[in-house]
Each structure stands twice: as C-alpha cells, then as structure tokens.
Amino acid sequence: MKHELEQDIKKVIYSERSISGMVKKLGTQISRDYAGKNPLLIVVLKGSAVFAADLMRSFSIGCEIDFMVVSSYVGIQSTGNLNVIQDLRTDIAGRDVIIVEDIVDSGVTLRSLKDLLTDRSPNSLKICTLLDKPTGRKVDIQVDYVGGKVGNEFIVGYGLDYNEKYRNLSYIGVLKESVYSHK
C-alpha cells in the first residue's frame, strides 16, 4: 500500500530491508562488545525511538532503556544550543551507557549531550547512530557504532522527520526540496 506522504520523497536511500540489515549488524556488534554487561540505552527522542526499539530487539544480551528529549533544531536549521526538554530518570553513575541517535549531522547536539552525560560519571559512554552525515559535521565527535552513511541531503523516514511528519515511513528517503524551501 502506498503511503500518502510518498509524493514528497525524491528518492529512497535505504529500503526497509537494508535498514533491518544495518540494525541487526549493530545489534550483533553491541551484543558482542557488551557480553556479560547490562548496558543502559539512552534514547534521544523523538527521532531515535523507531531505531532504538528495533536495535534492542536485535540484542542477544540484556539491557535497560531510558529516554531524553533534547533539541537544537527548528525546522531544518540548528540553533547550536542544547535544550533539555526531558531529562533521564535513571542515575547513570557507574553504568555502561550507549546514547542511541537516529542521525549524527552537525554533531553539535550530540557533543553537548555527551558532555552533559560525561559529567554524570558513567563507567563508559558510547554513541550508536543509525546514520552518519559526515559532510554536515561542525564539531568533532566520535561515533562508536554507525549503521550507514548519508550525503548532504535532507532525509526523512524510519523515525527521521521534517516538522513531525514522515517518521512513520518504513524506509529512509530524500525529502523533495520543494517541501521545505518555501518556508
């Protein structure tokens, strides 16, 4: 069945099947690296929710999950400031923590988030992202687990949005410029 929002998609970058393969590969790698441990996944909402749910189901180890809502974007523009809208409920001191992100673009939000969480004294702090957009990088940030890479295009689907739309597409595609350039 065709989705009504598909008319706004210029091209598909990652199909549902290729995303599933990336997630399983990441799940296997993390399960191996954290064997015998119980990592805490910090899911950055809203975009990472779909990815995080599939990722944790791909683990062969136990894990815990908590959520943060942070923002540094308005529309397609980064403000450069981290706004913590919802903080963690879990104390991460002494824990093995994995930040789960949907996409690393400028790195500004993630750098600020990593600094904030590092100050809370976790045993370890790693970053897992479904997608990396290295051409958008404005700050240096090390990402430990990467599913795939994308170019300098505005992408949506599988949790990624434009003004809260397109998250429920089962694939990742490039949004037509005409959708967001008129604003």
Q: Which residues are catalytic?
A: 105
- Residue 73's CB is within 10 A of a number of other CB atoms, namely 16
Cα-to-chain-centroid distance, residue 45: 8
Nearest residue to 31 via CA among 64, 56, 65: 56
Cα-to-chain-centroid distance, residue 103: 4
Residues with Cβ within 8 Å of 49's Cβ and at least 6 positions away in sequence, in order, are 43, 159
Residues with Cβ within 8 Å of 39's Cβ and at least 6 positions away in sequence, in order, are 30, 61, 63, 64, 95, 96, 97, 98
Question: Nearest 5°: CA angle at 136, between 130 and 142?
Answer: 55
Give the whole-angstrom CA distance, residue 114 versus residue 108: 10
